[in-house]
Structure formats: C-alpha cells, structure tokens
Amino acid sequence: MNDYKVIEIKRSVFESNDREADKVRQQLKADRTFLLNLMSSPGSGKTTTLKQTIAALKDEYKIGVMEADIDSDVDAKTIAETGAKSIQLHTGGMCHLDAGMTKQGLDSFGSNEFDFVVLENVGNLVCPAEFDTGASKNAMILSVPEGDDKPLKYPLMFTVSDCVLINKIDTKSVFDFDDEAVVERIKKLNPNCEIFFISAKTGEGIDAWTNWLRKEINAWNS
C-alpha cells in the first residue's frame, strides 16, 4: 500500500495572495513546521532530489511531501516508496500554486504534525515564481542539460529563490555548461542566493545541500 492520497485543489478566492501567504507563514511558524517550496522546470530531477533529501534527513525530522501536479500521481507514488508521508495536489490545469491553494494542501495534509514539509511545485520556470506560496524558504533546481543561460531567460525564478541546486552534474561530459557563468548570472540577480552543485543520481553534493537545509529548518522551528 502506498501511503498517499490525492486531493483536488481549487483556485484561490483571496484577492491578495501576498496577504494570504503571510498568514500561511505565520501559521507554519506557530506550528513549528518548516515549509520548503521546491520549483523547477519539468524533468530537472525534483523528485529524485527529494528522495535523496528525505534519506538524509528522515531520522532527524518528521517529513511530509506535497506533490503538486496537473493531473497525475506519478511523483506521489515515488515519494510514498521512501516511507515519507506524501499527498498529491491536483491543480486542475493550473500552472502554479498560490498561497490559498497551498493552504488547502497543508490543511488537508495535517501539516502541523510535521517538522519539515516540502511542496513540490508544478514543473514550470515561469508562473510559480510569480506567486508567494507562504513557504518558509524557496528553492529551485536547474539541471545541467537545461543550460547555463536560464538565469538570463527566467530571471524572476532565480530572483525569488533562496537556494539554487544545480543538478545532474554527473552528465557534464555530454553538455556544455559553464559553472562560473551560471553562478555569476544567478548572483547578479540575487546576491544572497545559496548555490549547490549536486547529482541527485550519484549523491554528490547532497551533504552540503542538506546541511544548509538542516540549519534553516532548525532556525525556523526553534
């Protein structure tokens, strides 16, 4: 039995997403639940990165994962296999989650039972960047095959992310990808952004990323 369920979330009725996002954050803080909003393009390795992250942190925290997807439950099934509790949010075609939709997911999930909840946002570098979900921190994944020019083309996503994971570094032999150029482009948009180079497939770099995450979770939940 896979331990997940599917809920259909509806477009938020709230006029001000930012106000609603602040309320979500206040509740998370009161509940001592750290919410990470994880964004990326389709196929950048969000789910595989999550599996590594859960493996590294599951003995320290009670972890839940909310998988937002337009119309499938592929990811929730995969995550459920790790033993973490998982829920699938169906956005009904919507290309992003806003704070009201995130709240529906958190409430349905019973998020106050968890120390650490990950919201795996819809695979999209455009729309999710425009909506504050109310998360404690935003992280995004850029994978090597996508190219080092993405900060130039999707600047808002890189601007709103507290942390950027450069994934699939194990595939560098077959792609032209300039590490220095990508760091420079990200830092120009967002000087305080944390950047980690990882391979979710081989596990390389996962320690540095989960060390950062552990520090952020502990600071939020203290």
Which positions touch a copy of itself (CB under 8 A)?
41-43, 69-72, 74-75, 93, 95, 122-127, 130, 143, 145-147, 149-150, 152-156, 168, 170-171, 173-175
CB of 149 to a copy of itself, least distance (A): 6
Give the nearest distance from C-beta 132 to a copy of itself in angstroms.
15
Q: Which is nearer to a copy of itself, 122 or 206 (CB)?
A: 122
- String of DSSP letters for the chain: ---EEEEE------S-HHHHHHHHHHHHHHHT-EEEEEEE-TTSSHHHHHHHHHHHHTTTS-EEEEEEESS--HHHHHHHTTTSEEEEEE-TT-SS--HHHHHHHHHHHTGGG-SEEEEE--S-SSGGGGS----SEEEEEEEGGG-TTHHHHSHHHHHH-SEEEEE-GGGGGGS---HHHHHHHHHHH-TT-EEEE--TTT-TTHHHHHHHHHHHHHHHH-
Tell me the closest approach of the beta carbon of residue 122 to a copy of itself, in angstroms. 7
Q: How far is the CB of 152 from a copy of itself (least distance, A)?
A: 5
Shortest separation between residue 107's beta carbon and a copy of itself, angstroms: 25
